[in-house]
Structure 1
Amino acid sequence: MTVPQHRTRPVRHGRRFDLRATAMFFGLLATALIAGGFAVRALSGVVERRPVWAVVLLCLVCAALPLHRRRRRRLSAARIARRATEALEQATTTALDALDEPRPAPVAPAPVPGQRRERAAGPVIGAPAVPDYGALDPEEFEKAIAALCERDGCTRVEVVGGAGDLGADVVALSPDGRRVVVQCKRYGDDHKVGSQDLQRFGGTCFTVHEADVAVVVTTSDFTQPALEYAAQCGIVCVDREALLAWSDGLTPRPWAVTAGEAGA
């Protein structure tokens, strides 16, 4: 007896199901649908306002469809998903490489002309640089001394120097209420303040300006006779080194110094 043979249907090998590609395809499809909806909504508004433009646009679309059909080719969703994944991986690699690159060291700011660096012995780290008083003109020097007085608690600080000032360049009230009268001598290193300068100031600081504290500040130094006269009259002398120490906060304020000690 002959047993009939049953033909087996050939197994068709299709493409494997790719979850990532399918999700990417539906995501792109949803985006296209949303964009199409907005486009249709915008076109409907244009049709209502400009019907002639709508007719022209429709004619252009009808003319372009045959050309598009000839050149159209099928796009694979898996290919689109693969390209998008490769682009994402490349962007991630670039970002990680950028994070791994060493950052350049911060560049120190260039020094400002007319200023010197803060001394290492200064009491406050990171404090602003002290001006180079020798590089200032007389008017700028007076303003710098007035700023020091104001910084250290003086009130009613005024720069009164000029023609007819009778020796007073800066006047102020100390924190304890005393009247401070300052004469500023912006001299060079080779020009010391002499006794005649002190005598002229001593003749007006107490009688004319009614100073409780009389101070002479210079970018240079004082002669010995000038220091002796200042000690006799009660005038506080502040030479270059004492001025820098005052600026750095390393010495008592001139109105807190006994006359003659500041420049000694």
Structure 2
Amino acid sequence: MSPRRTRGWSCQSVLITVLWAVCVPLAVLLELVKHVPALGVPLLLAAFAGGAVYLARRNRKAEQRRVEAARLAQIRAAQSQEIARYHTMSPGEFEHAIAYLCERDGCTDVEVVGGAGDLGADVIATAPTGHRIVIQCKRYGPTNKVGSPDAQRFGGTCYTVHYAHIPVMVTTSTFTRQAVTYATAQGIRLYDERALGGWASRTGPAPWHQVTAPAA
């Protein structure tokens, strides 16, 4: 079915619903008035008041849906702008950009440690919650997904070598299903381009949010 025809059926459905909600009760009221004339004016007033309330509620819900759709569109636009900016960076610049996000959102002891011999860690920081955050940054193209081998290499060092409370892999791309399965089992947080866009634009959480304080 074409979009135009679908919209036509939608409009017809709304019209039928309104007519049913107004005309059927009105017909019942008119029938009552025939038998009990004294009830005519109060019942008609009640009917019109009920119809007005129904239409007002319907219009209010439609406006709420419109406002929510506009808000979501603004969020998506902000996230897309952030991701586009990260795609222009070199891998080293991307690591410093992630370190900046950590500092911006209240982390302390932020270090960029990526490079030869980094053993999987690119950014290390202490979150406002007191957690030690260890982040691996993957500045990949949109079609180059982060795979399970990358996740496994990071998983082999993030806890035992870097003593992470919260290990995080951040990418400008996405993760394969196998990488997601492995990371979930190992407690590694994955931030793909959408999650990163939300973090950067302040429309989504930072990786350390919604966790309990680390054990002493």
TM-score (norm 2): 0.60
The aligned runs of 1:51-62 (5 Å cut-off) are none
1:190-226 deviations in whole A, cap 9, x for unaligned?
A: 1100011000000000000000000000011000110
The corresponding residue for 2:96 is: 143
8 Å Cα contact 2:195/2:204 also seen in 1: yes
Structure 1 gap segments, 5+ residues each: 1-118, 259-264
Structure 2 residue 147 is the aligned partner of structure 1 residue 194: yes
Shift in alpha-carbon separation, 1:120–1:218, aligned structure 2, 3 A: same
Whether 2:202 is the aligned partner of 1:249: answer yes
Could you tell me which residue of structure 2 aligns to residue 162 of structure 1?
Answer: 115
- Whether 1:173 aligns to 2:126 is yes
Instruction: Name the count of aligned residue pairs.
Output: 136
Distance in 2 between the 1:241 and 1:214 partners? 18
Aligned ranges for residues 5-16 of structure 1 at < 5 Å?
Answer: none
Could you list the runs of 5+ residues in structure 2 that have no partner in the other structure?
Answer: 1-71, 212-216
**Amino acid corresponding to residue 86 of structure 2 in structure 1:** Y
C-alpha contact 1:236 1:257 (8 A) present in aligned 2: no
Kindly state the Cα deviation for residue 142 of structure 1 after the two structures are TM-superposed.
0.2
Higher helix share: 2
Question: How far apart, in 1, do the equivalents of 2:201 and 2:152 lie?
Answer: 30
Counterpart in the other structure of 1:132: 85
Percent of pairs identical after alignment? 57
Q: Tell me if 1:210 matches 2:163.
A: yes
Q: Distance in 1 between matches of 2:149 and 2:108?
A: 30
Letter matched to residue 74 of structure 2:
A
Q: Secondary structure at the match of 2:144?
A: coil
Q: Which has the higher contact order (CA 8 A, sep 6+)?
A: 2
Cα distance, 1:170 vs. partner?
0.1
Q: Output the aligned Cα RMSD.
A: 2.1
SS at match of 1:148: helix
> Runs in 1 of length 4+ with deviation above 2 angstroms?
119-122
Partner of 2:74 in structure 1? 121
